[in-house]
């Protein structure tokens, strides 16, 4: 174990390939945010907020944008893989915190990919009428295909992402196109009646908490920083652009949905978007949205796979994980060992029954990471000698982002469902035990945590 974290000093060690520009960066973020979740989220949000669902998305954008701007600023300051891990250590100087931030992000990525593989399998079987085919068989084929694409190179992964993102956007724009003639037909501030006399703005805030999760995914953009051209400029530009485009699409879809279908029926519909199109344009076959969902789901899984592999790579380069995970394939210029390890972990995850509770727990982990990242920027901006980035924001923004994330955590925990917090706590405990094990096996290497790779 003596060389667990030892890095090579040879100048010919292969590195990640910088080839991603602003356009691909923005689509990468959009691909992560515009997943299949929005197709069901509209109905749930309408049940909470009524016709004011568009306003809930607008409020959610403001809340999410606080943390997104912190990520954009940090990306312009410290553009590197596993950037959240790096800035946490730079700000707090606490190796255990850095380690747990990194593994929490990896866990969220793994559960997302495993979940998407099963959703992909179910939709694939429905689209092609493969009744009797086990979902897990399609799910495993999907995981293998994603592994090959991610191994082939960042450019290949980015172009697949571009294709899937364009299809996903086209599907949502189709919804707007067939329903735009219905705009103006309802009161867009109508909310569900309440017995407690709640004000409209309180109802909107409750809906915004739900809508916030439609924006989760922007954090993935930071983790490909070492494969981005001019990352100090490209990361902020791509990140903010992706957030704004996603918000415009979400709000337009929300207005269209409640204009075509009464919000009470929209909330009860098993496929709210499909219901909207069926009423506004019966000529469009419902199976079309099954196909679009396949692209959206495949894309979300791909982005999370890329992100998780770069997290393992970046944590290795920061001496938080074994050296082998930081190896880069000489020809493909991808972290091939990290990719293989992820595939081996994902296979048993995909074979599990339902992992919905595990996926819900990772939302709590992500919000915890967001709070840590906002706090990191707040500290670093107040520290003398820290180099500024090309995209600077007022210090109040990360402070507000920190408070918003804590508030969302409190809301999630206060729902009374103890299973998701228990799983999140169990994952954090597992991360802590792994940290203790690594300290026991190689205490000297763990003292090198946070030192930049040669």
What is the CATH number for 218? 1.20.1740.10
pLDDT at 360 over 50: yes
- Is residue 12 assigned to a domain? no
- Is residue 367 assigned to a domain? yes
Identify which of 121, 143, 139 has the alpha carbon closest to the alpha carbon of residue 130. 121
pLDDT at 3 over 50: no
pLDDT at residue 416, as a whole number: 66
Q: Please give the model's pTM, rounded to 2 decimal places.
A: 0.86
pLDDT in tens, 60-90: 999 999 999 999 999 999 998 888 999 999 9
Q: Backbone phi, then psi, for 324, in 5-degree steps?
A: -60, -30
Mean pLDDT across the chain, nearest whole number? 86
**pLDDT grade for 359, boundaries at 50, 70 and 90:** low
Cβ neighbours for 207, distance < 8 A, ≥ 6 positions apart: 45, 48, 49, 52, 53, 55, 56
Contact yes or no for 349/111 (Cβ under 8 A): yes
pLDDT in tens, 255-311: 999 999 999 999 888 778 888 999 999 999 988 888 998 998 899 899 999 999 999
- Is residue 148 assigned to a domain? yes
Structural domain total, the chain: 1
**pLDDT grade for 453, boundaries at 50, 70 and 90:** very low
pLDDT at residue 119, as a whole number: 84
Rounded (5°) CA angle 137-141-146: 145
Taking residues 149-160, what's their average pLDDT? 93
- Is residue 17 assigned to a domain? no
The 8-class DSSP code of residue 197 comes to -
411 vs 54: which has the higher pLDDT: 54
Per the structure, the complete domain to which residue 257 belongs is given by 22-446
pLDDT at 186 over 90: yes
- The 10 Å Cβ neighbour count of residue 282 is 10
pLDDT at 188 over 80: yes
- Is residue 182 assigned to a domain? yes
């Amino acid at each position: 174990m003596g060389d667990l974290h030892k890095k090579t000093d040879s100048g010919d060690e292969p590195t990640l390939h910088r080839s991603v520009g602003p356009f691909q960066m923005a689509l990468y973020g959009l691909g992560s945010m515009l997943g299949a979740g929005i197709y069901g989220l509209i109905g749930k949000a309408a049940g909470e907020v009524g016709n004011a669902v568009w306003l809930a998305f607008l409020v959610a954008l403001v809340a999410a944008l606080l943390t997104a701007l912190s990520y954009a600023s940090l990306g312009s300051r410290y553009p590197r893989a596993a950037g959240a891990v790096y800035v946490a250590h730079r700000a707090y100087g606490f190796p255990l915190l850095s380690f747990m931030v990194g593994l929490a992000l990896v866990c969220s990525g793994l559960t997302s990919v495993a979940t998407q593989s099963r959703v992909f399998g179910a939709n694939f079987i429905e689209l092609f009428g493969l009744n009797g085919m086990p979902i897990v068989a399609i799910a495993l084929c999907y995981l293998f295909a994603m592994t090959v694409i991610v191994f082939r190179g960042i450019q290949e992964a980015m172009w697949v992402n571009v294709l899937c993102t364009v299809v996903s956007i086209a599907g949502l724009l189709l919804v707007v196109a067939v329903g735009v003639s219905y705009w103006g037909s309802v009161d867009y501030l109508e909310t569900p009646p309440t017995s407690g006399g709640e004000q409209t703005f309180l109802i909107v805030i409750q809906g915004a908490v739900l809508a916030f999760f439609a924006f989760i995914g922007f954090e993935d953009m930071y983790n490909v920083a070492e494969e981005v051209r001019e990352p100090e400029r490209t990361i902020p530009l791509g990140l903010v652009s992706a957030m704004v485009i996603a918000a415009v699409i979400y709000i337009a879809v929300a207005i269209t949905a409640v204009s075509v279908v009464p919000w009470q029926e929209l909330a009860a519909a098993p496929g709210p978007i499909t219901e909207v199109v069926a009423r506004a344009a019966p000529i469009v076959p419902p199976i079309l949205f099954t196909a679009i969902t396949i692209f959206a789901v495949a894309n979300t899984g791909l982005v999370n796979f890329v992100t998780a592999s770069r997290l393992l790579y970046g944590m290795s380069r920061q001496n938080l994980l074994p050296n082998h995970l930081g190896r880069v394939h000489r020809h493909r210029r991808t972290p091939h060992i990290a990719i293989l390890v992820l595939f081996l972990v994902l296979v048993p995850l995909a074979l599990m029954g339902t992992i919905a509770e595990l996926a819900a727990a990772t939302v709590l982990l992500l919000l915890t990471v967001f709070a840590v990242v906002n706090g990191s920027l707040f500290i670093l901006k107040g520290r003398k000698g820290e180099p500024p980035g090309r995209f600077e924001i007022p210090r109040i923004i990360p402070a507000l982002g920190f408070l918003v994330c804590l508030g969302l955590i409190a809301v999630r925990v206060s729902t009374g469902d103890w299973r998701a917090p228990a799983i999140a706590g169990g994952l954090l405990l597992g991360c802590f035990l792994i940290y203790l094990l690594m300290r026991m096996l190689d205490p000297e290497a763990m003292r090198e945590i946070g030192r930049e790779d040669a």
